[in-house]
Amino acid sequence: MTCLFMTSLHLRRKTVMSNAAKVTVVIPNYNGLKFMEPCFKALEMQICRDFEILVVDNGSGDGSVEWLKEHEIPSIFLETNTGFSGAVNVGIRASKTPYVILLNNDTEPDCHYIGEMIKAIERSPKIFSVSSKMIQLYDHSKMDDAGDMYTLMGWAFQRGVGRPSGGYNHVCRVFSACAGAAIYRREVFETIGYFDEMHFAYLEDIDVGYRARIYGYDNIYCPTAVVYHVGSGTSGSRYNAFKVRLAARNNVYLNYTNMPLFQLVLNSLPLGLGILVKYAFFRKIGFGKDYIDGLKEGFKTAKQCRKVKYDKKHLKNYLAIEWGLCTGTLLYIREFLARQAAKL
């Protein structure tokens, strides 16, 4: 059952919303009370006012529900935790604006953030999503994410993570936007489908970005839309058994649903190598069993996912995606080597 709580937004300053808002900022929340105030303070400071706010709470038990009601923030309260995908789908469907921004609660957007995101997505009707320049909140000298990439080995990675934040200042195409702070063209979801709720959390943004590319849309990176990000605000750490298992499972879902048979066959060797290398890595740090359990669950349940039906009119898009996997692999190697060199 869903409880809907929709009123005006009141925090310490009066927040004025446009009568004809262009974008709805959808904030999924699960036990994120400690992040609420700084996130909403940052939203109060936005220079662009063409936005509405909608929080989708995933059955929090830490006082988040009471805080949202006390501050009269437009919210939808879900009784159980539906995961990131379930929560944002509820928010997207409830939105009426042309665009939606998905914003993690552990972020603090720069005052120009929303305006820059709107300008970026309005550059072309073929742009499905725009990824922001995400900088580490506790170390502004380092990047957190400059758009997400995908490789031939089936590895997703954050472009720029850990690198100097003074770089990554050029607009470019990325494989997908990082849904922690991205803007999307709402009507496109009706064509390509919403976030896959089989994923629950992790890799769901790569999946929806992949589908958008199959249909010929672009995902781009906007360096002037800056967000400061805590990272792992809900899961609590970079690696844990829950995250490793779900990411392994979702990796199977991602490839199965988006790659037609010819692409799966073409990439079978690098995908297999990618699994072996990841298993060796996770075994070394104590999560080998969790990784294998995730893979097993993925292969067992993949057919429950909605597979993108192959259409030959999209062949050129598949070829462009394959090229993107190749360049993503080279970029991964380059950034990995750069991070290792920086440690010397």
Entry pTM? 0.92
pLDDT in tens, 183-230: 999 999 999 999 999 999 899 999 999 999 999 999 999 999 999 999
- Of 315, 297, 210, 283, nearest to 252 (Cα)? 297
Rg of the chain over CA atoms, in angstroms?
19
Cα 31 from Cα 152, distance rounded (Å): 36
SS3 82: coil
**Residue indicated by tokens 């997400």:** 148
What values do phi and psi take at 54, rounded to 5? Answer: -140, 120
What sign does the CA torsion over 212, 81, 282, 239 have?
A: positive
Provide the pLDDT for residue 56. Answer: 98
**Three-point CA angle 95, 100, 101, nearest 5°:** 130
Q: What angle do CA 190, 176, 105 make, to 5 degrees?
A: 85
Average pLDDT of the chain is 92
- Give 79-89 pLDDT, tens digit per residue: 999 999 999 99
C-alpha span between 139 and 159 (Å, rounded): 17
Domains of the chain: 2-229 (3.90.550.10), 241-343 (no CATH)
Amino acid letter, residue 11: L
| Cβ 210 vs Cβ 320: under 8 Å | no
* Cβ-Cβ contacts under 8 Å for 109 (sequence gap 6 or more): 42, 43, 46, 103, 132, 181, 225, 226, 227, 228
Report d(CA 139, CA 121) in Å as an integer. Answer: 28
| Residue 96 pLDDT | 95
- Structure token pair of residue 61: 């038990």
Helix (H) or strand (E) holding 339: helix 315-343
What secondary structure does DSSP assign to 193-243, as a single string? Answer: ----TTS-SSSHHHHHHHHHHHTT-EEEEEEEEEEEE--STTT-SSS-HHH
pLDDT of residue 238: 76
Give the pLDDT confidence score for residue 286 in this predicted structure: 96
Q: How high is the pLDDT of residue 198?
A: 93
Burial class (CB in 10 A: 0-12, 13-18, 19+), 79: exposed
Phi, psi of 221, deg, nearest 5: -110, 135
Cα 131 to Cα 108: distance, rounded to the nearest angstrom = 15
Q: How far apart are CA 43 and CA 113, in angstroms?
A: 9
Query: Mean pLDDT per 10-residue run, the chain (344 residues)?
Result: 44 46 97 95 96 97 96 96 96 98 97 98 98 96 96 96 94 97 98 95 96 98 97 61 95 97 97 97 96 97 94 97 97 92 84
Torsion-angle region of 160 (φ positive above 0: left; ψ -120 to 50: alpha; else: beta): left
Residue whose token pair is 């002037």: 224
